[in-house]
């Protein structure tokens, strides 16, 4: 029997727990969300983040710009960094090409970096220091734990080497004693490599790339992809229907990783305020 890793339900549970915790805090956490440009998908993601934040009792302030210069955006981030009432700052990616994304992400106060994209926080993850962790990989780990608590000794393959998903994902699996291989677009014999995986995380960005014969019997499969097909339907990077029976556990798309990314953003925002209060 395959376990369906229902991110929609798990995220709901996480949000309910966060809402309870927020009630016990001395004030509501505050999240600043910055969106630049007119990418429709980013606009939907930011809208969903704001809505979810409000529902659990996080105050959310959105800054939307059709266009903004690098220096104006840096000035806004400096202002939000200095504002003691702001606990978390999120800049939705990708930024328009005329902006220097690395410089923008580095300008965010690491203590307010609820996305975990600041080099200091990525470095802390690497050396095993506590730090905000990127939301998608953090959510993936919670989904994996629905299937299995102790991951020690398992072989994990992560397809995708982005800073947002692949790299932090590999670190989190390594921290839990998996033997981790990172695969990417230049990896040779990808299907063969995937067949060695007890845990397979697909963050490829191409619909239904992972086929049934890539899957080891009894694997845990986490599908980070969100692709829109010509018929308007969403699908993941894994050929879900074909792979389902071979997996011990698999995430669907939609209602898998996506809702968990947002729930982990809320968790990171609450944790940012909690760290501040405990100082």
Q: How far is the CB of 51 from ligand GUN (least distance, A)?
A: 16
Using CB under 6 A as the binding rule, whether residue 251 contacts ligand GUN is answered as no
Of 87, 113, 115, 239, which residue is the catalytic one?
A: 115
* CA separation for the pair 219, 203 (Å, rounded): 16
Distance of alpha carbon 127 from the chain centroid: 20
- 247, 215 contact by CB (below 8 A): yes
Of 30, 49, 112, 255, which residue is the catalytic one?
A: 49
Please say if 87 is a catalytic residue. no
Q: How far is the CB of 45 from ligand GUN (least distance, A)?
A: 7
Task: Return all residues near 6 (Cβ < 8 A) that are at least 6 apart.
Answer: 252, 255, 256
Using CB under 6 A as the binding rule, whether residue 115 contacts ligand GUN is answered as yes
Which of positions 116-135 make contact with ligand GUN (CB under 6 A)?
Answer: 135
Among 60, 136, 171, 269, the residue binding ligand GUN under the rule CB under 6 A is: 136
Nearest CB to ligand GUN, comparing residues 22 and 92: 92
Helix (H, G, I), strand (E, B) or coil at 90: strand
**β-strands 234-235, 227-228 pairing:** antiparallel
Q: How far is the CB of 261 from ligand GUN (least distance, A)?
A: 6
User: Which strands, in side-by-side order, build the sheet including 3-4?
Assistant: 3-4, 247-250, 219-223, 199-202, 155-159, 179-183
Site string for ligand GUN, 80-99 (x = CB under 6 A): ----------xxxx------
Please tell me the count of residues contacting ligand GUN according to CB under 6 A. 9
Cα-flanking dihedrals φ and ψ of residue 55, to 5°?
-65, -30
Using CB under 6 A as the binding rule, whether residue 163 contacts ligand GUN is answered as no
Please say if 149 is a catalytic residue. no
Please say if 49 is a catalytic residue. yes
User: Which strands, in side-by-side order, build the sheet including 88-91?
Assistant: 59-65, 30-36, 88-91
Binding site for ligand GUN (CB under 6 A): 90-93, 115, 135-136, 164, 261
Q: Which residues are catalytic?
A: 49, 92, 115
């Amino acid at each position: 029997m395959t376990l369906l890793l229902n991110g929609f339900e798990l995220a709901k549970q996480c949000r309910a727990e966060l809402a309870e915790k927020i009630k016990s805090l001395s004030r509501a956490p505050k999240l600043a969300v910055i969106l630049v440009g007119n990418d429709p998908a980013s606009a939907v993601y930011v809208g969903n983040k704001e809505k979810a934040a409000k529902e659990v009792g996080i105050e959310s302030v959105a800054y939307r710009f059709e266009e903004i210069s690098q220096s104006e955006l840096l000035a806004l981030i400096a202002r939000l960094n200095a504002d003691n009432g702001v606990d978390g700052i999120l800049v939705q990616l990708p930024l328009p090409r005329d902006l220097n994304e690395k410089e923008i992400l580095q300008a965010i106060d690491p203590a307010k970096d609820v996305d975990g994209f600041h080099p200091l926080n990525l470095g802390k993850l690497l050396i095993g220091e506590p730090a905000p962790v990127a939301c998608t990989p953090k959510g993936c780990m919670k989904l994996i734990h629905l299937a299995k608590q102790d991951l020690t000794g398992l072989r994990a393959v992560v397809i995708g080497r982005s800073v947002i998903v692949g790299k932090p994902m590999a670190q989190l699996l390594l921290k839990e004693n998996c033997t981790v291989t990172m695969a990417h677009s230049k990896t040779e014999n990808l299907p063969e490599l995937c067949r060695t995986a007890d845990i397979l995380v697909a963050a490829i960005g191409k619909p239904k790339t992972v086929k049934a014969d890539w899957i080891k019997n009894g694997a845990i499969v986490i599908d980070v992809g969100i692709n829109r097909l010509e018929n308007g339907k969403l699908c993941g990077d894994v050929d879900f229907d074909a792979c389902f029976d071979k997996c011990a556990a698999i995430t669907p798309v939609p209602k898998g990783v996506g809702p968990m990314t947002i729930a982990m953003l809320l968790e990171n925002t609450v944790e940012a305020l909690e760290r501040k209060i405990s100082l």
